[in-house]
Each structure stands twice: as C-alpha cells, then as structure tokens.
Amino acid sequence: MRLLLVEDDRELQRLLRKALDDAGYVVDSAFDGEEGHFLGDTEPYDAVILDLGLPKLDGVSVLEKWRKAGKMMPVLILTARDSWSDKVAGFDAGADDYLAKPFYTEELLARLRALLRRAAGLAAADIEIGPLRIDTRASRVTLNGNPVKLTSQEYRLLAYLAHHRGKVVSRTELVEHLYDQDFDRDSNTIEVFVGRLRKKLYANLIQTVRGLGYSLDASPDDAK
C-alpha cells in the first residue's frame, strides 16, 4: 500500500516514516500544504496522513481541494489541535478519521489499517482466502496454517491484490501503489513477483487477465 504523509515537523515525520516503512507501507512525504496538495492531486495513494497546521496551505484547505477534485482516498487527520470545532472542520472537509497529538504510534497504525480495510470493504484485520491467511497487523502470511516467508515486495503485492479481491488490477496500478515516486518503476518486475507468489503459495491464486492485469479470487479448491 502506498501512503502520503504530510507533516511539517521533521523529527515526527522521520519517526512516522520509519514506523510506516517497518509496517510494510510505501511512503511519500511532504513538509508543507502546497507540496502535499500537489502530490495528492497527481499521484495515486491508498491513504493519506495529513497534519492540519501546515505552512503555505493548511490541512483543511488541502483536504477540501482534494475532495472538490474528486480525490476519494481515505484521509487520517493528524494534528495538535484537539478542540471539537477543529474536529468538525476536519470531518466536514472530508476527513475519514482524526488523531490528536501526542499519540501512540500503534494507535495510528491501527487506525490506518482500519481505514484501508473499510476502503476495501473488509471487516477484519485478517484476510482469509481459502487456506490462505494474511495478518495485516503483523504482515504475516500462512497457508494451511503454515507460515510462508515472503519478501517485503512480495507481501505488498499480495496484500494489495487481497484488498482488491475480485477486481482486475493492471500492472500500471500495481507499480504505482507498490513503489514511491522516486523509484525507477518497471512493470516487468510485477510479473516476476507474481511468479514467485504462485510458487510459494499456489498456482491458481493469482489469475492473469490477458491484456488487463491480475486478479486474486481463487477458490479454496484451487489450492495445492
């Protein structure tokens, strides 16, 4: 999953980036509202963590501009402001959740997982597909109860497809959501990761839809 973090406190941004990286997310970041607005307006993100008290353009204005432009990614407001009027302003602008500083990193990660689940229409933190189980809290995968060792990129690809189960996801979309803006993107690497997942899990788990992309929607009977 690819996230945008807009936070002007450089030390807090550094700590959050590390926590998000460790949790398996791909993170782009901005230090002011203008840059944050530009990135959110031009790049596809699965979710955004947005501070309200930003230089150049405040967070509420950034969010209002995104929503007016039809940008529907989940947004978690992160701010030192904790009055009810600030919360109302954030929610009215289109925020999906609100977390006041200071906060525990684990709570932020839990709220973020919940936003991503709701956006995908999922209710539980564990995603089960036949004998396959994906624990999104610990970034762990098991098959028939046995742990499966995946690289970070293999896990990110599997998790993204699982959050979009039943939909055809193009290679371009996968590349956009699995790599940050500075990465030298190559859609051919997606085919390599898909091949590895099929070997480590089971062959029919990820279906190739010719000319369109990939879909994860195999039945339990397809598992080997």
CATH of the domain at 156: 1.10.10.10
Residues 99 and 145 in one domain: no
Same domain, 17 and 81: yes
Whether 130 and 112 share a structural domain: no
Q: Are residues 34 and 81 in the same domain?
A: yes
Which residue, 100, 120, 140, sits at the end of a domain? 120
Distances (CA, A) of 16 to 109, 149, 155, 181, 196: 10, 26, 21, 18, 30
What pLDDT score was predicted for residue 33?
96
In this structure, are 115 and 134 located in the same domain?
no
Whether 109 and 132 map to the same domain: the answer is no
Backbone angles phi, psi at 4, to 5 degrees: -115, 125
What is the CATH classification number for the domain harbouring 32? 3.40.50.2300
* The pLDDT value given to residue 120: 83
Looking at the chain, the number of H-run helices and the number of E-run strands are 8, 11
Q: Are 86 and 27 in a shared domain?
A: yes
How many independent structural domains does the chain possess?
2
Last residue of a domain, one of 120, 153, 188: 120
In this structure, what token pair is assigned to residue 185? 């993107």
Final residue before a domain boundary, out of 71, 94, 120: 120
- 74 and 26 in one domain? yes
Rg from Cα positions in the chain: 18
Using CB atoms within 10 A of its CB, is residue 64 exposed (0-12), middle (13-18) or buried (19+)? middle
**Cα-based distances in Å from 140 to 1, 18, 87, 158, 184:** 15, 19, 34, 11, 27
Same domain for 140 and 102? no
Element (H, E) at 147: strand 146-148
Question: Nearest 5°: CA angle at 169, between 148 and 207?
Answer: 55
**pLDDT score of 86:** 80
Residue 180 confidence (pLDDT): 73
Range of the domain at 62: 2-120
Same domain flag for 63 and 142: no
Q: Determine the pLDDT at residue 224.
A: 47
Task: Going residue by residue through the chain, which has 224 residues, state the pLDDT in tens, using 9 for 90 and above.
Answer: 899 999 999 999 999 999 999 998 999 999 999 999 999 999 999 999 999 989 999 999 999 999 999 999 999 998 886 677 888 888 999 999 999 888 999 999 999 999 998 888 887 888 898 889 999 888 899 999 999 999 988 999 999 999 998 899 998 899 888 887 666 556 678 889 999 999 999 888 899 998 899 998 755 555 54
133 shares its domain with 197: yes
pTM of the model: 0.80
Q: What's residue 87's pLDDT? A: 81
CA terminus-to-terminus distance, the chain: 28
Task: Write phi, then psi, for 48 (nearest 5 degrees).
Answer: -130, 140
Residues 111 and 65 in one domain: yes
pLDDT of residue 125: 81
In 3D space, the residue among 62, 100, 63, 106 whose CA is nearest the CA of residue 81 turns out to be 100
DSSP 165: T
